[in-house]
């Protein structure tokens, strides 16, 4: 072997070294804990899905599958796709067991998702996304619940109401209002898609496209008045207020990209101008499992990406320092004591704390200072004297205090501490 292999990961994906992984795990565990506190049960499936699952929705999806997903043919001539989103998978799973499930179903998952992005756009090809859904019920209180869950996630990360705003709209209501302006179905669809981009456009550019849709300047002005008038409300906004959630805006411009939403739609937006973006989005749908036949399954849900979550936490300084070192380091003065150090470590672990041995060839002084640099809390130096006397010194690296005692007493001490 003469040529050296590259140590780079595949283009567009991330290596998670321990410090990065600790942040990722902190995000995932807070997500999981919050969803479970609302009675949501976790599910998952493989990254590999039959390509038909994504092609099925028609020509537009055919193009999406061919150009934006990882799709390949396996040796059994099956077309396989690396899942680009979780919704088709969960619809498939729900449809398969629709007769056995106890409705309503509250499910969450933290899948990794794949998109084939052109490299020059600098976007990630793999990311993770929290998906939460309540299936099998069409009830305003359920819309309130799913938004309250998303809100609680922010609270559990230590966020405050001023850091984000919850934008809410209702597709049914908007449809009625547009029909009242004599817009037809095709115009309504185009207008919904245009509104999805409104906050990224100048007023002039928006008006130009709007006129193209309505074909009538007067109607365009009525549309703009309708969107900007702040008097409309929904039961969902009122319900959230009853739960004390008030950083809410009823936003008639809110459109959301996915066509399958049929009722309430919502989006959380960062209020910090440095991170001026949508944080998570979701909505209500009539029948997610339509493609699989059987009874209609209504529901409401949202998706929340790991990169977006992390950007929010960094923007608002809410990320704690990741701790990736053991609580206690046992540091033998010489490698000949490494096995004795393993025995001490094993005993100390019975207190419930994490313990590692510094079995390197470093000098003892270097071992002690390294334990401190790595943010371990305690260090036990182990030499001839300690082994002979069976009394060990537990040094607290935070406050500098020392406790010299038998192993049994040190275990009791650590057990009480944690």
> Looking at beta carbons only, is 14 or 198 nearer to its own copies?
14
* Cβ within 8 Å of residue 112, ≥6 positions away: 47, 126, 127, 128
> Looking at beta carbons only, is 140 or 407 nearer to its own copies?
140
Strand partners, 114: 126
> Looking at beta carbons only, is 191 or 329 nearer to its own copies?
329
> Looking at beta carbons only, is 95 or 232 nearer to its own copies?
95
* Cβ within 8 Å of residue 197, ≥6 positions away: none
**End-to-end distance of the chain based on CA atoms, in angstroms?**
51
**278 and 182 in contact (C-beta within 8 Å)?**
no
> Looking at beta carbons only, is 69 or 192 nearer to its own copies?
69
Q: How far is the CB of 413 from its own copies (least distance, A)?
A: 17
Q: How far is the CB of 200 from its own copies (least distance, A)?
A: 27
Beta-carbon neighbour count of residue 376 at 10 Å? 21
Phi, psi for residue 219 in degrees, rounded to 5? -60, -40
**Closest to 259 (Cα-Cα) out of 61, 121, 124, 403:** 61
> Looking at beta carbons only, is 18 or 217 nearer to its own copies?
18
Q: How far is the CB of 354 from its own copies (least distance, A)?
A: 5
The continuous run of DSSP H or E covering 355 comes out as strand 355-357
> Looking at beta carbons only, is 12 or 255 nearer to its own copies?
12
Place of tokens 């041995």: 357
Q: How far is the CB of 275 from its own copies (least distance, A)?
A: 25
Q: How far is the CB of 16 from its own copies (least distance, A)?
A: 4
> Looking at beta carbons only, is 219 or 414 nearer to its own copies?
414
Q: How far is the CB of 59 from its own copies (least distance, A)?
A: 12
Q: How far is the CB of 112 from its own copies (least distance, A)?
A: 7
- Rg (C-alpha) for the chain, rounded Å, is 28
Residues in the chain: 418
What is the biggest distance separating any 2 CA atoms in the chain, rounded to whole angstroms?
95
Output the CA angle 292-297-303, nearest 5 degrees. 95
Pairing relationship of beta strands 164-170 and 248-250 according to DSSP bridges: parallel
Q: How far is the CB of 371 from its own copies (least distance, A)?
A: 10
- As a whole number of angstroms, the distance between CA 168 and CA 151 comes to 13
**352 and 412 in contact (C-beta within 8 Å)?**
no
């Amino acid at each position: 072997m003469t040529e050296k292999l590259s140590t780079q990961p595949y283009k567009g994906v991330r290596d998670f070294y321990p410090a990065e992984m600790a942040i990722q795990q902190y995000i995932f565990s807070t997500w999981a804990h919050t969803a479970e506190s609302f009675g949501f049960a976790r599910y998952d499936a493989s990254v590999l899905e039959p390509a038909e699952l994504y092609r099925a929705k028609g020509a537009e999806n055919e193009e999406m599958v061919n150009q934006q997903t990882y799709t390949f043919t396996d040796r059994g001539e099956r077309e396989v796709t690396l899942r680009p989103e979780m919704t088709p998978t969960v619809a498939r799973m729900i449809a398969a067991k629709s007769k056995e499930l106890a409705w309503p179903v509250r499910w969450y998952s933290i899948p990794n998702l794949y998109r084939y992005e052109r490299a020059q756009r600098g976007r990630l090809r793999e990311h993770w996304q929290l998906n939460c859904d309540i299936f099998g019920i069409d009830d305003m209180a359920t819309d309130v619940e799913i938004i309250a869950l998303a809100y609680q996630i922010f609270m559990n990360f230590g966020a405050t109401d001023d850091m984000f705003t919850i934008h809410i709209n209702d597709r049914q209501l908007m449809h009625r209002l547009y029909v009242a302006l004599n817009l037809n179905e095709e115009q309504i669809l185009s207008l919904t898609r245009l509104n999805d981009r409104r906050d990224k456009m100048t007023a002039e550019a928006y008006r130009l496209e709007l006129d193209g849709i309505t074909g009538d300047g007067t109607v365009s002005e009525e549309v703009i008045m309708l969107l900007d008038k702040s008097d409309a409300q929904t039961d969902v906004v009122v319900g959230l207020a009853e739960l004390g959630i008030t950083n809410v805006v009823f936003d008639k411009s809110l459109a959301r990209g996915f066509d399958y939403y049929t009722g309430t739609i919502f989006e959380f937006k960062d209020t910090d101008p440095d991170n001026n973006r949508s944080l998570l989005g979701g909505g209500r749908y009539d029948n997610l499992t339509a493609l699989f036949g059987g009874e209609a399954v209504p529901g409401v849900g949202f998706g929340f990406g790991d990169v977006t979550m992390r950007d929010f936490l960094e923007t608002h300084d809410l990320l704690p320092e990741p701790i990736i070192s053991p609580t206690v380091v046992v540091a033998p003065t010489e490698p000949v004591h490494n096995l004795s150090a393993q025995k001490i470590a094993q005993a100390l672990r019975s207190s419930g704390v994490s313990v590692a041995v510094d079995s390197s060839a470093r000098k003892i002084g270097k071992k002690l200072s390294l334990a401190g640099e790595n943010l371990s809390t305690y260090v036990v130096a182990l030499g001839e004297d300690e082994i002979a006397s069976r009394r060990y010194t537990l040094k607290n690296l935070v406050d500098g205090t020392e406790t010299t005692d038998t192993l049994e007493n040190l275990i009791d001490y650590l057990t009480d501490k944690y």
